[in-house]
Amino acid sequence: MIDTTFARHFTADWIDAWNRHDLAAILAHYADDFEMRSPYIVQIAGEPSGVLRGKAAVGAYWAAALARMPDLRFALIDTFIGVDSLLLYYQGARGPAAEVFEFGPDGLVVRAAAHYAA
């Protein structure tokens, strides 16, 4: 079960890594074979399903996204705790966003799904 201490640490570290554009630090939060879902995967990675698996594929997608948005910054709005998941609600580059993270027993993200305001 996720507790407040874990949630606060993960959230602060994740936001900081993105704001520094530190791809290695970002990817350190994820299991090697994690699954990422995002509507922007279709546009940026050219994957029609919107789903990528593994650090190599997702890392390439995020590297391309960071290159397209050199001023990218996230500002946390709120964190929601689940049993084995977190939802981060934040201000992203294109407006409000919410991202759900599911964690494995080792505390690494095994699945994530990004959601954006319509």
Interatomic CA distance for residues 46 and 66, integer angstroms? 16
Q: Are 2 and 103 in contact (CB under 8 A)?
A: yes
Q: pLDDT, tens digit, for every residue of 44-89?
A: 899 999 999 999 999 999 999 999 999 999 999 999 999 999 999 9
Residue 83: phi and psi, rounded to 5, are: -65, -55
Q: pLDDT, tens digit, for every residue of 1-28?
A: 899 999 999 999 999 999 999 999 999 9
pLDDT value at position 93? 86
Q: pLDDT, tens digit, for every residue of 77-110?
A: 999 999 999 999 999 988 999 999 999 999 999 9
Q: Are 91 and 75 in contact (CB under 8 A)?
A: yes
Interatomic CA distance for residues 50 and 42, integer angstroms? 5
Taking Cα atoms as reference points, which of 112, 104, 4 lies closest to residue 61?
Answer: 112
